[in-house]
Structure formats: structure tokens, C-alpha cells
Chains A and B, each alone.
Chain A
Amino acid sequence: MSNGIAHAEGPTPTHGHAHAHHPALQHHFDTMSQQREAGVLGMWVFLLTEVLFFGGLFFAYALYRSWYYDAFAAASKSIEILPGLINTVVLIASSLTMALSVRSAQTNQRKATVNWLIATIILGSVFLGIKVYEYADKFAHHHVPGASFQFAHVPAPGEPHVEEAVAGHVTTMGPDELERTTQIFFSLYFTMTGLHAIHMIVGIVILFIITWMAHKGRFDDEWHAPVEMTGLYWHFVDIVWIFLFPLLYLVERHN
């Protein structure tokens, strides 16, 4: 019974394999690489549904942008580029640290896996913090769709001037039309960045669990599927942002 760990339950001798099984190998797989392959494929099928989920929103964006381009250009111009650019750098950096934590797990470096995961959590949190600042800024400028939305509004005497909406921009839209259609842009802005942020929050919660598991020494070079799958999810969220950044922040910046 030298094989006590791998075949703790069930009679050992009838088993066809001569070598010891990895404790993480599920009984319906023959080898660890087969199990890993199935896991990666399954994760990608999930990500496929995510791509379509965001795809619908990107379509809505494309359609309304083609209809109300002037409103999209004016609304996009009102968004500060710098926080968005910093967030782009932060999120891509978090993808790097995530990739390095997967690499550390592949090469059996427990301490490094934990450290890179913590770095990913910190960078993800910085992203969300900057997002909070940006959202607060939109509330302050009445750029949140709803009853108090204000964009192309002409201020009454004595009223504080809220926004120089279409400065230097030729549009065939009247102020009412612009007010209505910029609201569509900001609805898409909040839906898309909001769903993206929810994905990040979910990702950070999962990262905490994975970090704990890594800290406990649950992974080795043969089995680190949770780190790898979390990595795939995290990189997907990064890719969504790679598209959101130019589409929401950089519609028309020249002139």
C-alpha cells in the first residue's frame, strides 16, 4: 500500500495504472493534461457567452453612434481622458501581474504566485477607485441619465454655467435633441463601464479566494487550474476595457 495518498478510497490493485495519480485528477479524466485541456475549453465556452453578452452592448453603441454621432462626439469630449488612460495602464499592468502569477504557479513558485496575485488585487482595486472618482465627477456635472441630467442646457441668468457642450462643434441638432441624445451616450457609458466594473468586482473576490488557496499550498506545477481560469477571466475583462477606452473616451478629440 505504498500508494496510500492517491488511492485512499477504493481497492487499489484493480486499477489499470501503474503510476501514482495526482490527487487533483478527477476520476472521469485519464491524465492531468486531458483534464487541463477540458478545463481550458470549458472556460473559453463561458468566455464565448461573455463576448456575446458584451457584444450586444457594443452593437447598441455602434447603432446609436451612427445615428447620433454629433451627440456622441460632444458627450465623449466632456469626459476627462487622463483617468481613463491611467486606468488603461493600471488594468493592462494587472493583466501582466495575473499572467506572471499563472507562470509562477506553472513553475511551482508558491510565494511568487501569492505575491503576483496580491499585486493583481491591488491594481484591480486602484482601477475601481479611479472609476469611483470618474462616476462622482459625472454626478457632479449632471451627466448621469435621469431627471437631473443636464448637458446642452442654456443657463438662466445667475445660474451657474454647467457645461460648454458643443463648443466648436457643428451640429444639426437643436439643444433639446442634443440633450436627449447625449443621454443615450451616457446611458451606454454607465451600462458598459458599470457591467465591466461588476466583472472586476467579481474577479477581485475570486482573486482573494485563489490567493488564499495559493497561500495554503494547494497548487503545484501539475494542478493550478483555478489560477489559470481566473487568469483567463481577468484577461477577458481587460480586453473589454481595451475596446471601451477608445470607444467612450476618444470618439472625437481633434479640432
Chain B
Amino acid sequence: MSSVHVSPLSTYLSIFAALMVLSALTVGAAFVNLGLLNPVVALTIAVIKATLVILFFMHVKYSSRLTKITVVLSFFFVAILFAETFMDYATRGMPLAPYVLK
């Protein structure tokens, strides 16, 4: 007997279907002018897709708390990388979007 959680086939198929729908949605949304919200929508969909893959395809939903913490930590570190480096660039007198501000 294995102690490993075995997900039913239907879980994998419905996650796959959800990922397909979200992929179509991200292409569709790109053709609609949402102004500043375009990248926000694109990234939100990407984050949802990544979360579905991590939770169900990578079984993190059924993993130990230690594994879950490690997963969250990896993205927390990326957030630190982004925040600190952007802070550095933003405080060096360089305009962050020199060509957008006409």
C-alpha cells in the first residue's frame, strides 16, 4: 500500500481544460485595449495558471507544510529581488518610463 495521494483522472483533465481556457483568455484580452490594465490582466491569468499547475500537477496541495512553505518562499524571494532592485533604479535619478511620459 502506498501512502501517496493519488488524484483522480478527472482532476488532471479539468485542470488541463482550465489551463486551455485561460490560455485562450490571455490571447483574447491582449486584443482589447485596457490601458494600464493589460499587463495586469495578462500577469493575473499567468499567476492563476501557474498556481493551478503547482497545486494540482505538482501535487503541492497534498504536500507537507514544509514543502508548501518552500514553494511560497521561492516566490517571496523573487518579490524581494524585484522590490529591492526596482527601489535602487527608482532612486538613482533615472526616470522609470522615459519614453511613455511624452
A interface vs B, CB < 8 Å? Answer: 32-33, 36-37, 40-41, 44-45, 47-48, 51-52, 55-56, 58-59, 62-63, 66-71, 81, 85, 88-89, 92-93, 95-96, 98-100, 103, 106-107, 171-173, 221-222, 231-232, 235-236, 238-239, 242-243, 245-247, 250, 252-255
Distance to closest chain B CB from A252 (angstroms) = 7
- On whether A239 and B50 interact (CB within 8 A), knowing A88-B23, A103-B9, A106-B2, the answer reads yes
- Known interface pairs A51-B78, A55-B77, A56-B81; 20 further A-B residue pairs with C-beta atoms within 8 A, sorted by A's residue number: A45-B70, A48-B74, A51-B75, A59-B81, A67-B96, A69-B100, A92-B16, A92-B19, A95-B16, A95-B57, A96-B13, A99-B57, A103-B7, A106-B2, A106-B6, A221-B4, A231-B58, A245-B46, A246-B46, A253-B31
Residues of B within 8 A of A45 (CB): 70
* Nearest-CB residue, chain A, relative to B71: A44
Residues of B within 8 A of A88 (CB): 23
CB <8 Å contact, A51 and B74: yes
B interface vs A, CB < 8 Å? Answer: 2-4, 6-7, 9, 12-13, 15-16, 19-20, 23, 26-27, 30-33, 38, 42-43, 45-46, 49-50, 53-54, 56-58, 63-64, 66-67, 70-71, 73-75, 77-78, 81-82, 85-86, 89, 96-100, 102
CB <8 Å contact, A41 and B70: yes
Residues of B within 8 A of A232 (CB): 58
Q: Can you list 17 A-B pairs with a CB-CB distance of less than 8 A?
A: A48-B70, A51-B75, A52-B74, A55-B81, A85-B27, A93-B16, A96-B16, A99-B12, A103-B12, A106-B2, A172-B102, A173-B99, A231-B58, A236-B58, A245-B46, A247-B42, A254-B32
Which residue from A56, A59, A68, A254 sits with its C-beta under 8 Å from B33?
A: A254
Distance to closest chain B CB from A213 (angstroms) = 18
* Nearest-CB residue, chain A, relative to B29: A250
Q: Give the dominant DSSP class at A's interface.
A: helix
Q: How far is the CA of A253 from the CA of B41 in the complex (A)?
A: 14
- On whether A55 and B78 interact (CB within 8 A), knowing A246-B45, A254-B30, the answer reads yes
Residues of B within 8 A of A171 (CB): 99
CB <8 Å contact, A242 and B50: yes
* Nearest-CB residue, chain A, relative to B22: A242
CB <8 Å contact, B3 and A250: no
Q: How far is the CA of A8 from the CA of B19 in the complex (A)?
A: 48
- On whether A51 and B77 interact (CB within 8 A), knowing A69-B100, A106-B2, the answer reads yes
Find the residue from B15, B32, B70, B77 having the highest chain A CB count within 10 A: B70
Find the residue from B23, B64, B71 having the highest chain A CB count within 10 A: B23
* Nearest-CB residue, chain B, relative to A238: B53
Q: How far is the CA of A200 from the CA of B60 in the complex (A)?
A: 22
Which residue from A36, A40, A41, A69 sits with its C-beta under 8 Å from B99?
A: A69
Distance to closest chain A CB from B73 (angstroms) = 7
Residues of A within 8 A of B74 (CB): 44, 47-48, 51-52
CB <8 Å contact, A235 and B57: yes
Residues of B within 8 A of A243 (CB): 43, 46, 50
Q: How far is the CA of A81 from the CA of B4 in the complex (A)?
A: 40
Residues of A within 8 A of B2 (CB): 106, 221-222
Distance to closest chain B CB from A156 (angstroms) = 27
Find the residue from A69, A85, A99 having the highest chain B CB count within 10 A: A99
